Amino acid sequence: MLRIQKLVRRKGIADRLRATMKAGLRAALTDPLTGLHNRRYALPHLDRVDEAARAANKGYAVLLADIDDFKQVNDCHGHQAGDAVLAEVARRLAENVRAADLVSRFGGEEFLVTLPDTGPEAAAGVAERLRRAIRATPVSIGPGSAPIAVTISVGVATGPGAQAGPDGPRGRIDAADGALYAAKRAGRDRVERAPVPFRAQSERPEGASITPIRSSRSA
């Protein structure tokens, strides 16, 4: 009986250690504020999506979404309000994509959305849906404060599967980043799409390689 009790205790200790390790791994790959996966998880995930797309000769898309004028939220309303905006934007983004898609917090007020098996037109449609979901309703920032209007700008890039160039998935992020930069320069609250192939932003001539899909803000 004593031997059995010792075995049971050892198993309990081992189970708790495994649970602690799993919790630690989840914490390392999850953004604590938004509950989304973080950059550390998102980049290897994108590599897997790119590998699967090449093997199946299919496309995928990468979106980079950035909260417009986020610094003003922190400066005018405080960092707690900024945290509330980040959490709410993350929630709306996650609720407006498919189960197979991944929304991750890429850094600061920037979010990376990975869309497997998605072509350019469908990706642009998803980006526009996300933009509208954020713009549709002001964000509550706490008791005693009026909700504030929040918008995002989105850059869209697609990977052409087996025909992808040597830049690979990191090149898709660079492409989306260049398109996002163009959206910011064009007035924010916009979706811009980068054609494929796309050179890294540092190599891009001024004003080149960006295809707008919206020309003005809409209600």
Residue 206 is among the residues annotated as catalytic for this protein? no
Question: Catalytic pick from 88, 109, 121, 203?
Answer: 109
Separation between Cα atoms, residue 129 and residue 17, nearest integer Å: 43
CB-neighbour burial class of residue 199 (10 A; exposed 0-12, middle 13-18, buried 19+)? middle
Dihedral of CA 41/43/44/49: which sign? positive
| Whole-number Cα distances in Å, 60 to 46, 121, 123, 161 | 10, 11, 8, 7
Reported as half-sphere exposure (CB side, CA atoms, 13 A), residue 143 has a value of 0
Nearest residue to 42 (alpha-carbon basis) of 70, 64, 12: 64
Picking from 116, 102, 67, the residue whose alpha carbon sits closest to that of residue 88 is 67
- Do the beta carbons of residue 58 and residue 117 sit within 8 Å? yes
Alpha carbons 158 and 161: distance in angstroms, whole number: 9
Residue numbers annotated as active site: 109
